Copies of this chain bind each other. A is one copy, B any other.
Amino acid sequence: MADPTRIWTAALIVIGDEILSGRTQDKNIAQVASWLGVQGIRLREVRVVPDVQDAIVEAVNTLRARNDYLFTTGGIGPTHDDITVDAIAAALGVEVEIHEGARAILSGYYETRGGLTEARLRMARVPAGADLIENRMSGAPGIRHGNIFIMAGVPYITAGMLDCLTGTLEGGLPLLSATIGCWVAESEIADLLAATERAHEDCQIGSYPFFREGRTGANFVIRSTNATTLDACTADLSAALERGGWTVTAGGI
């Protein structure tokens, strides 16, 4: 039987000058992170790198070696700035080849859209030995090569690819979380938070301050893989806050 305490990890590389220029607000980090959590896989590190082969190769080789899974988003389209497939093939030391399954998918998709041109055929190129990730949203599939998952940059297309991968990756216990909130400056209850975390092994408490409606507040996120521990820690933290005179809002403010 698999070790139930094993922690499965993933890294994500977001590829694209448009994120590093500030032109585009990234949406993929949050959606990949949330999806991984449900699969019982922890997102350990994200790197955003430019459309530059050496930068992609360095990130791929570092992150794939120390995580169970590596995901990438961006740079798999038909244009000259889409270099992800070539860069990952270079990182793996394999050739780039046309995937016949991808060619068939693209042929079908473009049959009524002007035909499969040479530019469009670029989207059938994969690092040799790869499988496809179905794309329910548009023509070009994603690519799986061993523990590497190469996905689109456009968030709704990535969402569809993640959907297709749901339940197919081995993971561990999902990291459960509970959130409570108070209208309190986190600096007033820093000791209380630290003491509560120390009192509950295998629980982490994160403190996330905010300023709204002219007032200071904070949400506290308790995380654990163990539901009983999580509930106990959450209950203790709530009780300690209430004893301190603060009203606790379950689910956060």
Query: Does B45 contact A117, Cβ atoms closer than 8 Å?
Result: no
The residue of chain B having its C-beta at the shortest distance from the C-beta of A59 within the complex is: B45
Which residues of B sit under 8 angstroms from A221, Cβ to Cβ?
18, 21, 23
Which residues of B sit under 8 angstroms from A17, Cβ to Cβ?
204, 206, 223
Which residues of B sit under 8 angstroms from A33, Cβ to Cβ?
19-22
State A46–B44 Cα separation when bound (angstroms).
14
The residue of chain B having its C-beta at the shortest distance from the C-beta of A47 within the complex is: B47
Q: Is A193 an interface residue (CB 8 A)?
A: yes
Interface residues of A in 8-57 (CB under 8 A from B): 14, 17-27, 29-37, 42-51, 55
Task: Give the dominant DSSP class at A's interface.
Answer: mixed
Which residues of B sit under 8 angstroms from A119, Cβ to Cβ?
187-188, 190-191
Q: Using known A-B contacts A45-B55, A154-B209, determine if residue A79 contacts B20 with beta carbons closer than 8 Å.
A: no
Tally chain A residues at the interface, Cβ within 8 Å: 71
Which residues of B sit under 8 angstroms from A14, Cβ to Cβ?
46
Interface residues of A in 192-217 (CB under 8 A from B): 193-194, 197, 204-211
Query: Does A208 contact B24, Cβ atoms closer than 8 Å?
Result: yes
Query: Does B80 contact A193, Cβ atoms closer than 8 Å?
Result: yes
Query: Does B45 contact A48, Cβ atoms closer than 8 Å?
Result: yes
Which residues of B sit under 8 angstroms from A79, Cβ to Cβ?
186-187, 190, 193-194, 207
Q: Is A120 an interface residue (CB 8 A)?
A: yes
